[in-house]
């Protein structure tokens, strides 16, 4: 297949493109580092005919979304609009990466029918992107697979995120974190890539939404202890006990829909994933 990948040089995009090429797919890369801006229609209007578009390009760091909300809305909404429009013109299918969208959950595990609760500009922009996907199917028949990944991690991730920050600090010999309590459902990047590969074999019914996660949650303290155990050295740990207002204390995904419809399930345990991160640090 001919597959367009936006954000092709990013954390997920880099590995995805390598995998798709190895599987024999023809890849068209779109990335800011290559001079492409997904906010601009000219980036998409002269693309050769393609079968699938995997839309990864986005602004993603949540704290920054409060400091610069306009750029998050502009990039994430216009990029998704342009991706859908390109799929409409090419009679292609879309794989759209949304985000965790459930806020403080009403129940655990969280399925795709759980109420959506946008709780920061980043997640709001992604939910708006989901609405664009739904609209393009309703109005034009553009089929899409919408992934709601929980907490992705893996080698070469931006050190502003929790797991790479813990590993970076651990290697330096001491770890300081604000809060040891929050539990999150972490999913290793290899499992994210395998979900995308599976999605290219799936015929969406419309704008189909899937959780991507492990189905198990781990606290900050769990991750710290596992990291220290893998390193095998004494490392000083300091928790500042600074609690964010309205902190979500636990998130666990129900992933049965992806298992049943995409024939996908995660293969990488948290211990194996952390070991891989440390090996490649």
Enumerate the domain spans of the chain: 2-151+189-213+248-268
Per-residue pLDDT, 84 = 98
Which candidate, 2, 8, 15, 4, places its Cα nearest to that of 189? Answer: 15
Per-residue pLDDT, 151 = 96
Per-residue pLDDT, 10 = 97
Per-residue model confidence as pLDDT tens for the chain (281 residues): 999 999 999 999 999 999 999 999 999 999 999 999 999 999 999 999 999 999 999 999 888 999 999 999 999 999 999 999 999 999 999 999 999 999 999 999 999 999 999 889 999 999 999 999 999 999 999 999 999 999 999 999 999 899 999 999 999 999 999 999 999 999 999 999 999 999 999 999 999 999 999 999 999 999 999 999 999 999 999 999 998 887 899 999 999 999 999 999 999 999 999 999 999 97
- Report the C-alpha gap between 206 and 136 in whole angstroms: 10
What is the topology classification, in CATH, of domain 2-151+189-213+248-268?
A: Rossmann fold (3.40.50)
pTM to 2 decimal places: 0.96
Where do runs of H (alpha helix) occur along 49-199?
62-67, 69-90, 121-140, 162-172, 189-199
Per-residue pLDDT, 119 = 83
Cis? peptide before 109, omega within 30° of 0: yes
DSSP assignments along 200-265, one per residue: TT---SSEEEEEES-S--EEHHHHHHHHHHHHTS--EEEE-----TT---B--B--HHHHHHH---
- Report the C-alpha gap between 248 and 100 in whole angstroms: 12
Contact by Cβ (8 Å): 223, 182: no
């Amino acid at each position: 297949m001919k597959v367009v990948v936006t954000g092709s040089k990013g954390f997920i995009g880099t590995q995805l493109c390598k995998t798709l090429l190895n599987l024999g797919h023809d890849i068209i890369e779109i990335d800011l580092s290559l001079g492409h801006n997904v906010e601009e229609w000219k980036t998409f209007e002269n693309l050769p005919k393609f079968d699938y578009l995997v839309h990864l390009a986005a602004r993603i760091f949540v704290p920054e979304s409060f400091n610069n909300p306009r750029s998050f809305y502009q990039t994430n909404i216009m990029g998704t609009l342009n991706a859908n429009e390109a799929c409409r013109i090419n009679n292609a299918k879309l794989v759209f990466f949304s985000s965790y969208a459930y806020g403080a959950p009403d129940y655990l595990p969280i399925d795709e029918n759980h109420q959506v609760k946008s709780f920061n500009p980043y997640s709001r922009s992604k939910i708006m992107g989901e609405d664009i996907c739904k609209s393009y199917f309703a109005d034009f028949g553009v089929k899409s697979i919408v992934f709601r990944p929980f907490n992705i991690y893996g080698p070469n991730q931006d050190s502003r995120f929790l797991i790479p920050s813990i590993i970076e600090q651990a290697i330096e010999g001491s770890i300081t974190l604000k809060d040891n309590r929050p539990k999150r459902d972490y999913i290793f990047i290899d499992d994210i890539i395998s979900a995308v590969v599976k999605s290219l074999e799936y015929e969406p019914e419309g704008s189909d939404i899937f959780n991507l996660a492990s189905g198990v949650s781990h606290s900050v303290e769990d991750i710290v202890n596992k990291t220290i155990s893998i390193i095998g050295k004494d490392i000083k740990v300091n928790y500042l006990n600074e609690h964010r207002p309205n902190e979500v204390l636990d998130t666990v995904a129900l992933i049965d829909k992806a298992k049943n419809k995409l024939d996908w399930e995660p293969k990488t345990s948290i211990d194996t994933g952390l070991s891989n991160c440390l090996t490649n640090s």
